[in-house]
């Protein structure tokens, strides 16, 4: 009997190096996420998490190394080509269309993805066939269906992040790269967002890469985590072991909270 070959990772970086100006920011990172897995990419500010993500999605070029999608080398492919191959990206910086309503934000992205080759579809009055239903379904998936007529600029931080997530789901992704989805979001909303990411992996087989400083929430939803230090992978661990690892304590989380202050009476 032959043993089945292990599945190819949905996305992987092989010995990836990224330089900005004269400086090497990502220094030989090898990392992979399988279908249905949430991989936490954690580490202190300046470790290179966003730079790694930006190179993996094709926003910036890598100096050397490879990015592969299901085994295919896409290192030379631009962002839009990787997006068409199923890579969705939630950038660190806010990216909603502030003055449009939630509905019109979703409609704009839906038309960009599904509106066909004619630019005129972007300016068409009235919905395209199936558009209203698709937008409704997307808004329900991120629990924004009761906010459809609100201007995106009036959303809370958590709601805005969910709108950005909905946009990333307009073309059903195979890989979702999420840069600090919980930043500026209260714990309850972060937990709701975390559940959505987990569900995307569990129910839809999406491979999720997740960077965030809300370590507890990130570890709650991830299946594996790496610690990035100075542009290199320092450790890789199960979520349960990650927080206790001496390098994580010493170089990232610190031990202030473990010894001081004394417990409240
Ligand atoms: N365009 C650029 N030009 C020069 N240096 C850059 C550029 N972009 C990022 N850097 C530097 O690269 C390093 C890593 O930045 P990066 O944003 O990838 O870190 P990070 O781990 O995502 O940090 P944070 O957790 O604070 O978001 C930083 O020292 C940053 O100043």
3-state secondary structure of 196: helix
Exposure class string for 176-186: b at 16+ Cβ within 10 A, else e: bbbbbbbbebe
Tell me the Cα Rg of the chain: 20
- Per the structure, the complete domain to which residue 144 belongs is given by 97-154
- Claim to verify: residue 84 and residue 24 sit in the same structural domain: yes
Residue 159 lies in a domain: no
Q: What is this model's ipTM?
A: 0.97
Q: Within 13 Å and on the Cβ side, how many CA atoms surround 242?
A: 27
User: How many Å apart are CA 89 and CA 95, to the nearest integer?
Assistant: 11
pLDDT at residue number 2: 72
Please tell me whether residues 69 and 180 are part of one structural domain.
yes
Q: What's the pLDDT at 135? A: 92
Number of domains comprising the chain:
2
> How far is the centre of ligand 1, averaged over its atoms, from the C-alpha of 48 (Å)?
6
Decide: 47 in ligand 1 pocket, CB within 6 A. Answer: yes
Tens of pLDDT, residue by residue over 108-150, are 888 888 765 555 555 566 667 688 899 999 899 888 999 999 9
Long-range contacts made by residues 191-195, C-beta under 8 angstroms, separation at least 24? 191/217, 191/220, 192/143, 192/158, 192/162, 193/158, 193/161, 193/162, 193/165, 194/218, 194/220, 194/221, 195/221
In a domain, 1, yes or no: no
Tell me whether residue 251 is in a domain: yes
Residues 133, 61, single domain; the answer is no
Q: Are 25 and 77 within one domain?
A: yes
Residue 122 and residue 75 share a domain:
no
Same domain as 179, residue 139: no
Indicate if ligand 1 lies below 6 Å from the C-beta of 93. Answer: no
Asked, for residue 106, whether it belongs to a domain, the answer is yes
| Residue appearing with tokens 């409704």 | 136
CATH number at residue 18: 3.40.50.300
């Amino acid at each position: 009997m032959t043993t089945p070959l292990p599945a190819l990772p949905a996305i992987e970086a092989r010995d990836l190096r990224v330089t900005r100006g004269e400086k090497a920011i990502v220094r030989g990172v090898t990392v992979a996420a399988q279908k249905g897995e949430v991989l936490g990419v954690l580490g202190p500010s300046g470790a290179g998490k966003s730079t790694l993500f930006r190179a993996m999605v094709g926003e910036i070029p890598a100096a050397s190394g490879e990015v592969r999608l299901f085994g295919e080398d896409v290192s030379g492919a631009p962002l839009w080509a990787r997006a068409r191959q199923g890579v969705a990206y939630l950038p660190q910086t806010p990216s909603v269309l502030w003055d449009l309503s939630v509905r019109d934000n979703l409609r704009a992205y839906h038309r960009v993805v599904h509106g066909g080759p004619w630019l005129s579809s972007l300016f068409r009055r009235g919905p395209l066939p199936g558009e209203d239903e698709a937008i409704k379904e997307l808004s329900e998936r991120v629990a924004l269906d009761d906010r459809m007529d609100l201007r995106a600029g009036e959303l809370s931080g958590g709601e805005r992040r969910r709108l950005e997530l909905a946009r990333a789901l307009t073309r059903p992704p195979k890989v979702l790269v999420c840069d600090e989805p919980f930043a500026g979001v209260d714990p309850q909303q972060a937990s709701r967002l975390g559940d959505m990411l987990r569900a995307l992996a569990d129910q839809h087989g999406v491979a999720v890469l997740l960077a965030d400083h809300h370590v507890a929430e990130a570890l709650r939803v991830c299946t594996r985590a790496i610690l990035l230090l100075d542009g290199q992978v320092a450790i890789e661990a199960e979520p349960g072991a990650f927080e206790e690892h001496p390098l994580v304590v010493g170089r990232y989380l610190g031990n202030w909270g473990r010894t001081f202050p004394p417990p409240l009476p």
